[in-house]
Amino acid sequence: MSTERDVPRLTISRRDFEAIRQQPRLHRRPYRCLLLVRPDYPVYADLPPALAALGIRTVGLPVPADRDKAAFLDALLRAILDFRPDFLLTLSHCGVDAQGTLAALLADLRLPLASWLLDSPDLLVAPFPDAAGEAIVVFSCDAAALPAIRQAGYRHVRALPLAAAPGRGAAAAPATPPADGLTFVGADYVAETGRRLQRGRFGRELTVLVRRLAERSLAAPARDITGLFRPEEARQRAAWQAMSPSRRQDFALAVLCRADTLGRTAVLRRLAPLEPRIVGPATWKRLLPDLGDRWQPPTYDDAAVTALFRASAVNLNITSRHMHGTPNQRVFDVPAAGGFLLTDASPQLAALFEPGTEVATYDGAHDVVSRCQRYLRDAPARTAIMAAARRRIAHEHTFGHRLAVILQTLKELR
């Protein structure tokens, strides 16, 4: 029989359809999870071992980059028929289409999908209300975004922070304090801004406006860029609001990524007298002309990143603007690797780590230089905070802890 939504090639016999609908969920171990995989997302490799530790067997289904919805849903249905999963799991809504076809299919099959949002829910969920469905359970890394997610039509929503990536853990903390100085590892968002502008094709007027909106975002951070337009820009705001959801998303991301470039560059310029090492794209050398040989290209090898974090006396974190104060991956990975982290303060961070004891923070660009100077001088304080953070992570903030929350939530909803 066909599903309620007309999707080409997507068919299933009545007997198989009813068998899947009536199958008990999470009834007997090993549980079965169908993992929707984005091939260019390395974190997916960490999920099957963590799931196996919870008694969950996984099978991965790649989500094609070409977005051939009919072919993907056809492959998905075959995987469901062959594997008979208890639930599906995805990261950042990978595989969830804006039209809601996947949501409708899973609702028909009474098969839950857990989506752990690792990036801003405002950009992943809110622009696509038709994607919401009874079968989709959303876990948001941004606790403050839960009302907006519910408003977008999702009934089952829960906060779930990021966690230490398994590959970044260090067996033991450094025996002696590292001798190196200040390091910043991160993107400058120049390429990402350009990519969003190129894909959106917004025209000269709106493209020029991106920088002005980004500067206003730095001065008055807001979850929604609508409030950044001034009254005299009503025509441009109307043009943006009339765009398709995906183009509005690209424009909003272009604004926020441009704000990231401006904000991060301003902070790092203030820190120039401390001669920070910058690890990231080569465009940092253009943004910071005096950087010299203190720039190095990014590395994606877990062992190399761990060694870098451990070798730096202070690892500086500057949270992306579009995260709105949500603790990012660096907050967990640096201490897990045995490194000391100095990061921007936020209420959500304080809910995960005790400020001053388990995490060191600064209160903005005006405060960052004195904080860096303080911790560069105080090796005992760095060691104590790093060790306390590692203990907290081991007890509460691993992938295993997060996946256990997902599993328990799905059990409560079955």
In sequence order, what DSSP letters do the residues of 41-103 get, joined into one string?
Answer: -GGGGGHHHHHHTTTEEEEEEEPPTT--HHHHHHHHHHHHHHH--SEEEEETTTT--TTSHHH
The 3-state DSSP class for residue 214 equals helix
With bands split at pLDDT 50, 70 and 90, how would you rate the model's confidence at 170?
Answer: low
With bands split at pLDDT 50, 70 and 90, how would you rate the model's confidence at 222?
Answer: confident
Give residue 117's identity as a one-letter amino acid code. Answer: L
What's the confidence (pLDDT) of residue 226?
Answer: 92
* pLDDT greater than 70 at residue 117: yes
Instruction: Report the length, in residues, of the chain.
Output: 414
Q: What is the pTM of this model?
A: 0.90
Neighbour count for residue 244 (Cβ, 10 Å): 11
Mean pLDDT (whole number) for 33-61: 90
Best-predicted range by mean pLDDT among 39-53, 157-171, 343-357?
343-357
With bands split at pLDDT 50, 70 and 90, how would you rate the model's confidence at 3?
Answer: very low
In sequence order, what DSSP letters do the residues of 300-350 get, joined into one string?
Answer: --HHHHHHHHHHEEEEEE---GGGTT---HHHHHHHHTT--EEEE--HHHH
* pLDDT greater than 90 at residue 99: no
Identical fold, 14-163+400-413 and 165-186+298-397: yes
Residues 122-164: tens digit of each pLDDT: 778 866 767 888 899 999 999 999 998 998 889 999 999 999 9
Per the DSSP assignment, residues forming a β-bridge with 202 are none
Listed residue (98, 116, 96) closest to 106, CA to CA: 96
* pLDDT greater than 60 at residue 5: no
The domain 14-163+400-413 is classified under which CATH number: 3.40.50.2300, 3.40.50.1100, 2.40.37.10, 3.40.50.20? Answer: 3.40.50.2300
The DSSP secondary-structure symbol of 24 reads P
CA–CA distance, 224 with 232 (Å, rounded to integer)? 18
User: In what helix (H) or strand (E) does residue 108 lie, and over which residues does it extend?
Assistant: helix 101-109
Mean pLDDT (whole number) for 335-352: 96
Mean pLDDT (whole number) for 192-213: 95
What's the confidence (pLDDT) of residue 13?
Answer: 84
In percent, how much of the chain has pLDDT > 90? 71
Residues 81-97: tens digit of each pLDDT: 999 999 999 999 999 98
The domain 165-186+298-397 having CATH identifier 1.20.58.220: the answer here is no
Residue-averaged pLDDT of the chain? 90
CA–CA distance, 138 with 141 (Å, rounded to integer)? 10
Mean pLDDT (whole number) for 202-211: 95
Show me where the domains of the chain are located. 14-163+400-413, 165-186+298-397
Residues 243-282: tens digit of each pLDDT: 988 798 889 989 999 999 999 999 999 999 999 999 999 9
Cis peptide before 64 (omega within 30 of 0): no
What's the confidence (pLDDT) of residue 397?
Answer: 96
What's the confidence (pLDDT) of residue 220?
Answer: 86
Burial of 56 (0-12, 13-18, 19+ CB in 10 A): buried
